[in-house]
């Protein structure tokens, strides 16, 4: 199968959370990431084209035990019901340059392992 995406995806298992418009925090899991976005599993359906404040826990490159709590916004691109959860594709924005570089480092590290 030929990959037609702009950016390579890296399979991960990272904890994340999304702040809902009513103020609740829902816990989600990032299952893959690229330089532009994430695919995550959510217990709740999210609204396409809506932006949500979110946080992603990203392990350090040198020390996986170093966890970076990355604040950003995620804009929902698509939602697919999968079993008892939703797979949600999100475009990331409002991430610090340092954290964006951490994501790029993870993608680069994984590309060299594959």
Q: Is the pLDDT of residue 108 over 60?
A: yes
Cα separation, 114 vs 105, in Å, equals 14
What whole-number percentage of the chain has pLDDT above 70? 90
Q: What is residue 24's predicted lDDT score, i.e. its pLDDT? A: 97
Calculate the alpha carbon distances from 43 to 3, 17, 40, 70, 83 in Å. Answer: 28, 11, 10, 21, 10
CATH code, 10-109: 2.40.10.220
Cα separation, 37 vs 68, in Å, equals 17
Q: Give the tens place of pLDDT for each residue, 63-86.
A: 889 999 999 999 999 999 999 999
The domains of the chain are located at 10-109
Q: What is residue 47's predicted lDDT score, i.e. its pLDDT? A: 97
């Amino acid at each position: 199968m030929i990959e037609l995406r702009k950016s390579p995806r890296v399979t991960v298992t990272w904890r994340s959370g999304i702040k809902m418009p009513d103020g609740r925090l829902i816990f989600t899991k990032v299952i893959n990431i690229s330089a532009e976005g994430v695919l995550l599993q959510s217990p709740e359906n999210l609204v396409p084209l809506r932006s949500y404040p979110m946080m992603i826990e990203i392990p350090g490159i040198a020390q996986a035990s170093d966890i970076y709590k990355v604040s950003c916004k995620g804009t929902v691109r698509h939602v697919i019901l999968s079993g008892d959860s939703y797979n949600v594709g999100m475009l990331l924005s409002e991430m610090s340059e340092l954290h964006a570089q951490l994501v790029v480092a993870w993608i680069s590290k994984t590309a060299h392992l594959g």
